[in-house]
Amino acid sequence: MVSETRSAATSRSVEVLAQKLRRRQVVGSRAAALETLLVLRQVISKARFSNLEQLVAIIRDAGRRLVDAQPKEHSVGNTVRKILHHIREEFHAATRGTVVAKPASFSISKFVLQGQPRKHAVLPKSESKGTLRENDPDDPDSFARGLKPVLMEAIQDVLDELETVYDNISKNAKDHIHSDEIILTLGMSKTVEQFLKSAAHSHNYSVIIAETAPSYDGRIMAKSLSEAGISTFLVPDSSVFALMSRVNKVILGAHVILANGGMFAVSGSLMVATAAKAHSTPVVVCAGQFKLTPLWNLYHEYGAHDFGNPSDVLGFENGDLVDKVDVVNPYYDYVQPELIVAYITNDGDHPPSSIYRLLKETYDDEDNEL
């Protein structure tokens, strides 16, 4: 009886977030990731389980409901995957305490045969007989009691990471932007905004910002940066090609970083990146690690199939045009890995070609499908 009301409460909190995501009341990758994390923490703290499988199943269930609510907000799924990965890691750390330490020597042949070194941390169940005991018939809650404090700590770590993500990304900003450079960016990305502001502490440089129709978010960015004392030029999207020859570096934000090193980003990014490629201008992407997604975009390149409000493009003030014309307003562009030079994340700088490795380290393969 008690457990039922508890699970009802947690399921309600999951449902509330799912509603918010569905109604786009929670927007932005970081906000969504934070909310997800808070809900998952609640789910775990209230959950009753006597072995790892049960716990994973509970989290997956909650995660699936959140992801289904807003499949385009990939940071939700990423957060769930990350938590699952941490849980497994903590579990193995806790159970391994009694087991003989793994031989530390790795050879190429072992690497080839066994894959990632971390992989053989998965131990046969029979060996786990330390303080943590799964499926204890005498005290079914002992497993949960033993594991929960460590799990909470792990979640707190992820939370801390999310909260300091901007600081960590912009930590090295001054090494990427130099004095008197001209930087081009587009749209409004919190990450890029922090990055540029942080670079402005040590260098004097100029930023050209494309307005990014139809949201014209670039104006918000321009306002914020100019108020921070950075010399800012706001231009329409159309003039990016003309100005690109004078730009030293293009800095973009990302919506999702894909496993192949490409990304989904605000529409307009592909054009800017292609123009930069045509002028051999390096394109650097600033993004938090929570945007890494074990997804591939091999077959459909059509704007990630997410569309915005057409009235932003052609409003009703245009009279009967609205009836006669199809209006397209895609949210995202798919930017191929060939167009990107580097990703600057809170976990260091990476070329697009090593994103897959980062993914393998961050998530467990079995969670790719939640």
Partner 1 sequence: MPVPTIADPPPSAGPKPQGQPSQKTMTKAERRELQEKQRAAKAALKQQPPQGQSKQQQGGNAGASGQQKAKVPPTPQKKSFGAEVSASKQHASASKDGGASGAAAEELTGKQLSHGLRIFSHFGQPKPVGHTIKGDIHPATIRLGLLFSEFKICGANARCIAMLTAFKQVIQDYTTPSHSTISRHLMTHLSPQITHLVSARPMSVTMGNAIRELKLEISGIDIDMIEQDAKKKLYDYINTYIQDRITTADKVIQELAGKKVKDGDVILTYARSSVVEKILLSAHSEGKKFSVMVVDSKPLLEGKELLKSLTNGPNPIPCTYALLPALPSLLPEVTTVFVGAHALYSNGAVYSRAGTAMVAMMAKANSVPVVVCCETYKFSDGVMVDGFSKNELVPLSIIQKNSTDRGLAPALHLETLNPLYDLTPPTYITAVVTEVGLIPPSSISSIPLALGKTSL
Q: From the CB of 264, what's the least distance to partner 1, in Å?
A: 12
Question: Total residues at the site for partner 1 (CB under 8 A)?
Answer: 55
71 contact partners, CB below 8 Å, separation of at least 6: none
CA atoms 326, 332, 334, 338: torsion sign: positive
Radius of gyration of the chain (CA): 23
Nearer to partner 1, 79 or 215 (CB): 215
Q: How many CB atoms lie within 10 A of CB 274?
A: 18
Which of 63, 268, 294, 352 lies at the binding interface for partner 1 (CB under 8 A)? 268
> What count of residues does the chain have?
370
Nearer to partner 1, 61 or 338 (CB): 338
Residue-wise DSSP of 265-281: EETTHHHHHHHHHHTT-
Contact between 245 and partner 1 by CB under 8 A: the answer reads yes
Site mask, partner 1, residues 210-229, x = CB under 8 A? -xxxx-x--x--xx--xx-x
Q: In what order do the strands lie in the sheet with 263-266?
A: 256-257, 263-266, 332-335
Q: From the CB of 310, what's the least distance to partner 1, in Å?
A: 9
Q: From the CB of 327, what's the least distance to partner 1, in Å?
A: 5
Contact between 239 and partner 1 by CB under 8 A: the answer reads yes
Q: From the CB of 365, what's the least distance to partner 1, in Å?
A: 32
Nearer to partner 1, 99 or 213 (CB): 213
Nearer to partner 1, 241 or 356 (CB): 241
CA atoms 301, 355, 281, 217: torsion sign: positive
Half-sphere exposure of 257 (CA within 13 A, CB side): 28
Which of 36, 189, 198, 274 lies at the binding interface for partner 1 (CB under 8 A)? 274
Nearer to partner 1, 84 or 188 (CB): 188
Q: Which two tokens stand for residue 48?
A: 């009753």
**Phi and psi dihedrals of 59, rounded to 5?**
-65, -40
**CA–CA gap between residue 341 and residue 88 (Å, rounded):** 34
Q: From the CB of 240, what's the least distance to partner 1, in Å?
A: 7
Contact between 292 and partner 1 by CB under 8 A: the answer reads no
**What are the residues facing 342 on neighbouring strands?**
284
**CA–CA gap between residue 198 and residue 174 (Å, rounded):** 7
Q: From the CB of 259, what's the least distance to partner 1, in Å?
A: 21
For residue 342, what is the enclosing H or E element? strand 342-345
Closest of 165, 166, 186, 170 to residue 266, by C-alpha = 186
53-112: contacts with partner 1 (CB under 8 A): none
For residue 361, what is the enclosing H or E element? helix 355-362
Stretch of 48-56, 131-139, 145-153, 267-275 contacting partner 1, by CB under 8 A = 267-275
Site mask, partner 1, residues 301-340, x = CB under 8 A? xxx---------xxx-xx--x--xxxxxxx--xx------
Pairing of strands 263-266, 249-253: unpaired
Q: From the CB of 31, what's the least distance to partner 1, in Å?
A: 23
Stretch of 9-17, 136-144, 171-179, 207-215 contacting partner 1, by CB under 8 A = 207-215
Which of 9, 16, 93, 242 lies at the binding interface for partner 1 (CB under 8 A)? 242
**Phi and psi dihedrals of 182, rounded to 5?**
-115, 120
Positions touching partner 1 (CB under 8 A) are 182, 206, 211-214, 216, 219, 222-223, 226-227, 229-243, 245-246, 266-268, 270-271, 274-275, 278, 301-303, 313-315, 317-318, 321, 324-330, 333-334
